[in-house]
């Protein structure tokens, strides 16, 4: 693994630049939409792409808060893995990626049942190795799912990866409320409120809007709306019960955590959780710089985390590495 040499050393610039950095790929791996019926009235959308050769395995990618299959980090990671010979599925969580009409619910940071359904479906269809990659909120989903399943995932999932994962939702929410991070909180909050308003317009009986306009933080939104919708009781209980850190000790398959120490949204102190050091299945790669889902490298390939994840997966899978330039 080559050391990470950041294009920028400012954590905010790294975070924001990664969000807008161009991912201009020729459409050489034709995308195909696939709907998964995870519950009677819930469908989620995956964008599936096949490599040129027989797939070495399946990789399921899960995006972050208010992201989608079109998020830049999802696109570049998929391209890197396709070139390495893996079939990729960029999975949208409920109501994201233009799928509002496919279900009558919201999503939350610990909702693992949809991912579990997709993993079961792929295992029933093929004996190929399955890998999971989650970014930010998606990382919490992937790691929580893996810990919940425990030993039952052996022989089903070959490895899991969490990139910039808020394993302690309460600590990370408090971090986002700091003055220097208001630009992120406003962006996330505005998108959450917009999504909720659309849900309320379609299903007013399920999504009461009382108090929505007065919400001033992501915590308030989760406390008043997410927790109520999913019957967590309160935002504090939602964060406590759905944080991946509660399940790390039960992860029984290889797991890679990639985390920047300067992540503006995730205090690195949460990665001192004892389960990370105690669980021999977990490997933590911590960089001094990187921002939040940033990791823009000074030298090509630009998307350093993509390269690291690809190499880690191919090592777990026993496949030959291929080089890429981004």
**Residues recognised as catalytic:** 136, 263, 292
Angle ∠(251,311,295) on CA atoms, nearest 5: 90
Closest CA to 259 of 249, 271, 247, 248: 271
Provide the pairing of β-strand 42-49 with 31-39: antiparallel
Question: Number of helices (H) and strands (E), helices first, in the chain?
Answer: 11, 8
Hunting for tokens 């992860």 — which residue is that? 251
Query: Which letter does DSSP use for residue 167 in this model?
Result: S
Tokens encoding 122: 């792929």
d(CA 314, CA 311): 5
* Residues with Cβ within 8 Å of residue 70, at least 6 apart in sequence: 97
| HEC string for 52-86 | CCCCCCEEEEECCCCCCCCCHHHHHHHHHHHHCCC
Could you please report the per-residue DSSP string of 216-281?
-SHHHHIIIIIHHHTT-SSHHHHHHHH-GGGGGGG--S-EEEEEETT-SSS-GGGGG-HHHHH-TT
Residue carrying the six token digits 């599925």: 89
Nearest to 157 by CA among 92, 85, 60, 35: 60
Which residue's structure tokens are 């996330």?
188
């Amino acid at each position: 693994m080559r050391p990470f040499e950041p294009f920028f050393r400012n954590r905010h610039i790294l975070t924001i630049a990664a969000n807008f950095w161009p991912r201009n790929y020729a459409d050489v791996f034709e995308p195909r939409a696939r709907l998964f019926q995870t519950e009677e009235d819930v469908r989620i959308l995956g964008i599936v792409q096949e490599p040129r050769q027989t797939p070495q395995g399946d990789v399921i990618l899960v995006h972050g808060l208010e992201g989608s299959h079109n998020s830049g980090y999802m696109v570049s990671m998929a391209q890197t893995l396709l070139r390495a010979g893996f079939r990729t599925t960029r999975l949208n969580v409920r109501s994201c990626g233009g799928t509002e009409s496919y279900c009558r619910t919201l999503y939350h940071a610990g909702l693992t049942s949809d991912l579990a359904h997709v993993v079961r479906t792929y295992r029933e269809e093929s004996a190929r190795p399955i890998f999971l990659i989650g970014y930010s909120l998606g990382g919490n989903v992937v790691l929580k799912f893996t810990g919940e399943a425990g030993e039952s995932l052996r022989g089903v999932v070959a490895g899991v990866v969490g990139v910039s994962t808020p394993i302690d939702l309460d600590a990370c929410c408090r971090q986002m409320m700091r003055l220097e991070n208001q630009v992120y909180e406003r962006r996330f909050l505005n998108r959450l409120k917009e999504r909720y308003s659309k849900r309320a317009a379609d299903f007013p009986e399920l999504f009461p809007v009382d108090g929505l306009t007065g919400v001033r933080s992501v915590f308030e939104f989760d406390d008043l709306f997410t927790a109520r919708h999913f019957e967590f009781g309160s935002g504090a209980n939602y964060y406590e019960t759905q944080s991946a850190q509660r399940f790390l000790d039960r992860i029984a398959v290889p797991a890679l955590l990639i985390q920047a120490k300067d992540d503006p949204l995730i205090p690195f102190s949460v990665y001192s959780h004892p389960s990370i050091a105690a669980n021999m299945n977990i490997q933590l790669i911590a960089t001094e710089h990187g921002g939040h889902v940033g990791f823009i490298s000074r030298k090509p390939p630009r998307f350093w985390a993509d390269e690291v994840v690809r190499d880690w997966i191919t090592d777990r899978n026993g496949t030959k590495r291929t080089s890429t330039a981004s």
